[in-house]
C-alpha cells in the first residue's frame, strides 16, 4: 500500500490566525454592545421610575390627598 503525504499550504495557518482574530474582535464588539444596551435600559428604567413618581404626586394632588 502506498501512502501519500499531504502538505498543508503555508497560507492555512495565516487564515486560521485571521479567523481567530476576527472571532475575538466580534466577541469584543458583541460584549460592548450588550454592555451599552444594559446601561441604556437601566437609565430608561430610572427615568420611568422618576416619571411614575411625578405622576403619582400629581394624582394625589388631583385626588386632594396632598397639598402643594
DSSP of 35-53, one letter per residue?
Answer: HHHHHHHHHHHHHHHHHHH
8-state DSSP, 1: -
Q: Which pLDDT belongs to residue 68?
A: 59
Q: Which pLDDT belongs to residue 65?
A: 77
Q: Which pLDDT belongs to residue 54?
A: 97
- One digit per residue, pLDDT tens: the chain, 68 residues? 566 666 666 788 889 999 999 999 999 999 999 999 999 999 999 999 999 999 999 999 999 976 65
CA distance 44 to 63: 28
Spatial CA neighbour of 57 closest among 45, 46, 48, 66: 66
Taking the model in full, what pTM does it have? 0.63
Amino acid at each position: 500500500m502506498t501512502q501519500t503525504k499531504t502538505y498543508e499550504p503555508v497560507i492555512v495557518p495565516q487564515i486560521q490566525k485571521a479567523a481567530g482574530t476576527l472571532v475575538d474582535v466580534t466577541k469584543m464588539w458583541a460584549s460592548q454592545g450588550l454592555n451599552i444596551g444594559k446601561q441604556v435600559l437601566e437609565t430608561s428604567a430610572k427615568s420611568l421610575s422618576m416619571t411614575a413618581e411625578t405622576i403619582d404626586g400629581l394624582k394625589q394632588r388631583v385626588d386632594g390627598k396632598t397639598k402643594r
